[in-house]
Amino acid sequence: MRLATSPQSAMIWTMREEHQPRDRADRPRPLLRDTAAHEDAISQAEAKRVLRALAPFGVLSKEALEHECRAGTWHDGGFAAALHAAVKAGLIVELPGGFYRDARDHKL
């Protein structure tokens, strides 16, 4: 047990002690990762990652976009799912011939 050396430290120590759970059962449980909301958040983040890679160029082929996103380092099917989500969300426009355009870029 730690002894307080001043009235202020005794107050801080007491406050810290009161706010810390005493039993593991009293601690809040972490949110589950396998929820639909979590999967949706991951999908949105990955779609934005694809958009950030496309933004400096405006238009890229799918292969060039894969290269810019370093899709080879993603989990299997991750890039394709993210690209699909970005198109579905209206962030990226799919063009003929396997090209993709930043939907925010109205000059093209």
List, for residues 61-94, the tens digit of each pLDDT value: 999 999 999 998 988 888 999 999 999 999 999 9
Higher pLDDT, 22 or 35: 35
Contacts of 46 (CB under 8 A, 6+ apart): 74, 78, 81, 82, 85
Mean pLDDT of the chain: 80
- pLDDT on residue 19: 55
Q: Name the residue with tokens 């930043």.
A: 102
- pLDDT on residue 20: 57
Higher pLDDT, 7 or 33: 33
**And the tokens for 50?**
């694809």
Residue 100, pLDDT > 80, answer yes
Contacts of 107 (CB under 8 A, 6+ apart): 58
- What is the arithmetic mean of pLDDT over 41-53? 91
Considering the domain 39-108, what is its CATH architecture?
Orthogonal Bundle (1.10)
